[in-house]
Copies of this chain bind each other. A is one copy, B any other.
Amino acid sequence: MIKPSIPKGTRDFGPAVVRKRHYIFQTIRETFELFGFQPLETPAMENLSTLTGKYGEEGDKLIFKILNNGDILGQAQMAKDSRELATLLCEKALRYDLTIPFARYVVMRQHELALPFKRYQMQPVWRADNPQRGRYREFYQCDADVVGSHSLLNEVELLLIYDRVFSRLGMQGYEVRINNRKILSGLAELIGKPEQLMDITIAIDKLDKIGIQGVEKELLDRGLSQQDVDIINNFLRIDGNNDEKLEQLQVLLQSSTTAQKGIAELSFVLNSGLAKFQSPPILDVTLARGLNYYTGLIVEAKAPPSVKMGSIGGGGRYDDLTGLFGLPGLSGVGISFGVDRIYDVLEELQLFPATAQQGTRVLFLHMGEQSLPAAFQYLMQLREKGVAAELFHEPAKMDKQMKYADKRGIPYVVIIGENELQENSLSIKNLQTGQQQKIKVEELAGFDFK
């Protein structure tokens, strides 16, 4: 018999991990709800045609496809290459992100939805990426998007959501960095090569990894002149506080009306005075975000610098996402939380509260048939009070039962032996302190199993 295993890049989540993940999800969900976002869930399987062509050529290769059921041999014989074979054999595929299913949903329900539609979605996605540290083939995304509104109030609200969630999680030192794609467009205009916007964006996006000289080289490789590169260099060296940066942008990009629009948008988001942030967003002109559908604000959330983790969330404004499915003209803006990375950050900084790790609070020892009815009665009494409690499943040596409590991390055991039975009392042992005390049965309901 082969040793059982799971597919590479996937994970089992045991009890402790599920609880801690649940705490993160709950914090995010609660915030989404307070801000008026509504939950949506879409199927794990989408029609392959819904997904194909939406994530670039590289993305298409990483989509997990689901084999059609029934007779597939005949169809297989018609294929000329692997790609065609996959299309012949598969009509369905696994969700690759939450954005495309959201757009698909909006188009299907356009006549019943109240616009703007503010939805959040927290579900797993699947990608056939090569697994590595922090990168999995199955992972959760947590997205909030507003579709059907151009108002910059949405940008402000989404930034406040980041602020509230990271503050609530106790993640001191997190940073929310923002920029605007219109500024990058303006830059491309300034050097007279608007058609190379994507080349410029992709190169700048690598700044963190390859440094400014690497970006320079990449820009030259992508066909920009040394003069162009010098201008971009000046742009990347813009520095100071948010207001100082905005001023420098204003000067450098004054000839581009697109850039001016981007600067005005950033000004509003940073200086509207409407929102009070725990940790105000930072304007970062070098922020580019590779994905090409953004058209306005772009945002990236970063873990505290003491943790080597980088991005723990991102998003931006995109025009016309639903246009892909035949409903043009709807603008959208959204953010996403990287739950797996947030988990690692909280773990490293030991920020999970004790309550996020609590399971069973009390184990009733099984002291034999005689005291079983009493034990069961008090067990149920605690449960009715909302205290998670268990009874050891069989009479066994005290030592064995204690070991079970210990291994499970159950902090209290209740002992009802002959003495306790006669006295109508219970002995309660706190396994963390080793303290044991006897209480009257009437006191149980009020006892604090903290």
Interface residues of A (CB under 8 A from B): 1-7, 10-15, 18-19, 22, 33-36, 38-47, 49-50, 61-62, 64-67, 69-73, 76, 79, 81-82, 85-86, 89-92, 94, 104-105, 107-109, 114, 116, 118-119, 124, 126, 128, 137-138, 146, 149-151, 153-154, 157, 160, 273-276, 325-326, 359-360, 372-373, 376, 380, 383, 386-391, 393-394, 404, 407-408
Cβ 8 A contact of A372, one of B41, B114, B124, B274:
B274
* Interchain CA distance A6-B85 in the complex, whole Å: 22
Residue among A13, A38, A104, A150 having the largest count of chain B Cβ atoms under 10 Å = A38
In contact, B383 and A35 (Cβ under 8 angstroms): yes
Q: Given the known inter-chain contacts A81-B73, A149-B393, A326-B3, please indicate yes or no for A40 contacting B18, CB distance below 8 A.
A: yes
Instruction: Name the distance in Å between A287's Cβ and chain B's nearest Cβ.
Output: 25
Q: Chain B residues near A46 (CB, 8 Å)?
A: 6-7
In contact, A72 and B82 (Cβ under 8 angstroms): yes
Q: Chain B residues near A45 (CB, 8 Å)?
A: 6-7, 10, 64, 126, 137-138
In contact, B13 and A41 (Cβ under 8 angstroms): yes
Q: Chain B residues near A12 (CB, 8 Å)?
A: 40-43, 105, 108-109
In contact, A15 and B43 (Cβ under 8 angstroms): no
Q: Chain B residues near A36 (CB, 8 Å)?
A: 359-360, 388-390
In contact, B4 and A407 (Cβ under 8 angstroms): no
In contact, B10 and A43 (Cβ under 8 angstroms): yes
In contact, B359 and A33 (Cβ under 8 angstroms): yes
In contact, A67 and B90 (Cβ under 8 angstroms): yes
A160's nearest neighbour on chain B, judged by CB, is B380
In contact, A15 and B34 (Cβ under 8 angstroms): no
Q: List 24 A-B contacts (CB under 8 A).
A: A1-B325, A1-B326, A3-B326, A4-B326, A6-B45, A6-B50, A6-B108, A12-B105, A12-B109, A13-B42, A14-B109, A19-B39, A36-B359, A36-B360, A38-B360, A44-B44, A45-B138, A61-B69, A64-B67, A76-B85, A146-B393, A151-B394, A273-B373, A276-B380
* Interchain CA distance A126-B92 in the complex, whole Å: 13
Q: Chain B residues near A105 (CB, 8 Å)?
A: 12
Q: Given the known inter-chain contacts A72-B85, A86-B67, please indicate yes or no for A43 contacting B326, CB distance below 8 A.
A: no
* Interchain CA distance A114-B14 in the complex, whole Å: 12
Instruction: Name the distance in Å between A110's Cβ and chain B's nearest Cβ.
Output: 11
A146's nearest neighbour on chain B, judged by CB, is B393
In contact, B71 and A154 (Cβ under 8 angstroms): no
In contact, A389 and B73 (Cβ under 8 angstroms): no
Q: Given the known inter-chain contacts A45-B138, A50-B4, please indicate yes or no for A408 contacting B114, CB distance below 8 A.
A: yes
New A-B contacts (12) at CB < 8 Å, excluding given A38-B360, A71-B82: A3-B326, A4-B50, A4-B104, A5-B47, A6-B43, A6-B45, A11-B43, A15-B40, A34-B388, A151-B394, A274-B372, A274-B376
In contact, A39 and B15 (Cβ under 8 angstroms): yes
Instruction: Name the distance in Å between A63's Cβ and chain B's nearest Cβ.
Output: 9
Q: Given the known inter-chain contacts A14-B40, A82-B73, please indicate yes or no for A89 contacting B67, CB distance below 8 A.
A: yes
A107's nearest neighbour on chain B, judged by CB, is B4
In contact, B40 and A91 (Cβ under 8 angstroms): no
Cβ 8 A contact of A43, one of B138, B273, B275, B380:
B138
* Interchain CA distance A40-B14 in the complex, whole Å: 5
Q: Chain B residues near A81 (CB, 8 Å)?
A: 73
In contact, A38 and B89 (Cβ under 8 angstroms): no
Q: Chain B residues near A138 (CB, 8 Å)?
A: 43-45
A74's nearest neighbour on chain B, judged by CB, is B82
